[in-house]
Structure 1
């Protein structure tokens, strides 16, 4: 997605720079209301979990565009996904963190041989109606069967 945007945000301490995903995409091949986020994908080095900015971004997009989209394969829930690698010297896609605003679930998916293992690592609880304040209840339990990558 970083190749789709020229917008960026610099960390106030100058530790990092991140790309800002656009809220709207103008593609003349499709009607404007047919383009929707299903997943907002990015990377997090070294396995760090989703940030407050990640959570607030995907909720703000859901408020504008909806938290579910109808696809040829059925309804999909909007999520933000952050891929990670466990090794800085030999990076690979070892897994990803996922936040699903509609359910409040924070999940961690990791490779388990030829399949994926899912763990629910948290639950987001919003404390006000302006979608700015929330807390994350830390958890560590297997995902229920309804979650699939």
Structure 2
């Protein structure tokens, strides 16, 4: 997407976008940082699994996260890692503070969370329309079991 495309969508000129945001990258960072949803606490595993499935299935809710994934080429993943730490990994570290093997659990949860949406649901390549409601329900049940296994000792 070009700066002209962004300006056209907003109904302004590219010069006005540059005036307020300096660059397309600065605008991207602002949008990415302000619109990615916080990850819900891990207190209830079934609810967490259900919320995670719903998040990745909703095109509007997941699009800022996909933009962060696609931004890896821009800065070597610094913005993505910053947002993951702020919105997901940091809260999980607090939740799991003092737990045995907390960092291993967090890495597995991170892998499950991102892998589910990007590849399991197919959000990264826009392949998610082919999943039946039965398949999605089975994925949600199994995801809850996997999260339980990650949190267990």
**TM interval, short-chain normalised:** 0.3 to 0.5
Which structure has more relative contact order (CA 8 Å, sep 6+)? It is 2
Question: Between Structure 1 and Structure 2, whose CA radius of gyration is higher?
Answer: 2
Larger proportion of helix: 2
Larger proportion of strand: 1
Q: TM-score, normalised by structure 2?
A: 0.35
Q: TM-score, normalised by structure 1?
A: 0.35
